[in-house]
Structure 1
């Protein structure tokens, strides 16, 4: 059984999204592998701080071209849409936990690139916004 101090520490980490912050910073660090990692991390923290103030440009691993590539993998015949099942699975694969479960086009089982990118960007922004909300 966890002690009161341990439970308090876990609550503190969850409340302030510290684990998410550390995971995102580590992912960015391993992805970019900068020559000066400390400076890189400071820059990422500064970007995150500015994003918390402005609501824009959160440090994130996935760019728009990455989302285009992911969609292209799911739509190799270039039909211009993916299925709702593909959409849900790719959101999970990207680590997006907060997204529109029935986005535009879901009623006809056709999620377009624009809809996918809009929902993925929103979800990524929420998951990359690792500061206390």
Structure 2
């Protein structure tokens, strides 16, 4: 087993390097061929951003105890990635799905002609929104007192 302290930069994190290379390739192709943004394109890009969001969440959590300043910077990047994913989600719903439909900005499967399978972007957005709110919104996480009528 290799020691992380002695791993060469070329060998570290091969999946992240491959993902970055894929994005660079796609950006070059999009610039060359003028690929228009469509809903499928934004869905894949949103998936990438939410994966980065999850990774930064975990990295910030592990960095904070030992390096609080670095943890704060990672947490800030985590929040900005969520904001970027939210903007892409909104753009997804702004683009027309088909000539005969206008979906608006709601995440409502009953209003979209293509139905729930396309709404993985909405499921990812709701899950990442829940995670960011849980981390950034102060709340009492203890048991709630029973209501009296």
Greater radius of gyration (CA): 2
Higher relative contact order (CA closer than 8 Å, sequence separation 6+): 1
TM beyond 0.5: no
TM-score (normalised: structure 1): 0.28
TM-score (normalised: structure 2): 0.26
